[in-house]
Amino acid sequence: MSELAATCGLLCSACSVFIATKEDPERLKRISLRFGIPEEQVRCFGCGSDKRFGPCADCSFSACAKEKGLAFCSECESFPCKDLKGFQAALPHRLDLWEDLEHAKQLKQAQWVAKVQQKYACSQCGTLNSAYDLSCRKCGHIPSCDFVERHMEVLKKHLGVE
C-alpha cells in the first residue's frame, strides 16, 4: 500500500496532520493542543507508514483491508459497509470519499494518488492543501483548491467562520 493512500479512500498528503508533520511545526502544535495529546502522538507519515496519527493508529478499515488482502475499502464485497458510511458522514473532509473510492477501483495506486492530489492542489502555485485550508497555505489564494471551492460553505460552517 502506498503510504499516501489510506484504505478508506482519504489522501494522506492532503491531511492537516500529515502536512503538519512534514512541513509545519506550528500547525503540529495547534493540532496537539486541539486534541489534547502530545505532538509525538500527532505526528503521521501516512496511513501506510509505521507512524500514524494517534487516533488513526488503530484504524479498523486498515486492519480489515489487510486481513482481506485489499488496498482500498472499495475492493471489498461489503463496500460500503456500515462503519465506512458512518465514517464518511462524520466530517466534511470526507465528502468526496465515495467518488475517490470509485476512482480507486479503476486506477493503480500511484495513478489514484496523482488524480486525488489534483483536487487539493492550489490552482495558482500547485501547493497541496488540506480540506480545511480555505486559502492556500503558501500563496494565500482563495479557494485553496478545487475541493474547498466545491465545499466552501460546508467547510466554513464546520470551522465556524464566515
pLDDT confidence bin for 141, thresholds 50/70/90: very high
Tens of pLDDT, residues 29-38: 999 999 999 9
Give the 3-state secondary structure of residue 11.
strand
Is 155 domain-assigned?
Answer: yes
pLDDT of residue 1: 46
Is 121 domain-assigned?
Answer: yes
pLDDT of residue 48: 85
Please state the pTM of the whole predicted model. 0.90
- Mean pLDDT for all residues in the chain: 93
Is 7 domain-assigned?
Answer: no
Q: Which residues contact 160 (CB under 8 A, 6 or more apart)?
A: none
Is 108 domain-assigned?
Answer: yes
Domain around 74: 12-159
Is 86 domain-assigned?
Answer: yes
DSSP 116: H
Is 137 domain-assigned?
Answer: yes
- Measured between alpha carbons, how far is 141 from 67 in angstroms, rounded to an integer? 42
CA 13 and chain centroid, separation: 7
Domain count, the chain: 1
Is 83 domain-assigned?
Answer: yes
Q: What percent of the chain has pLDDT over 90?
A: 86
Is 23 domain-assigned?
Answer: yes
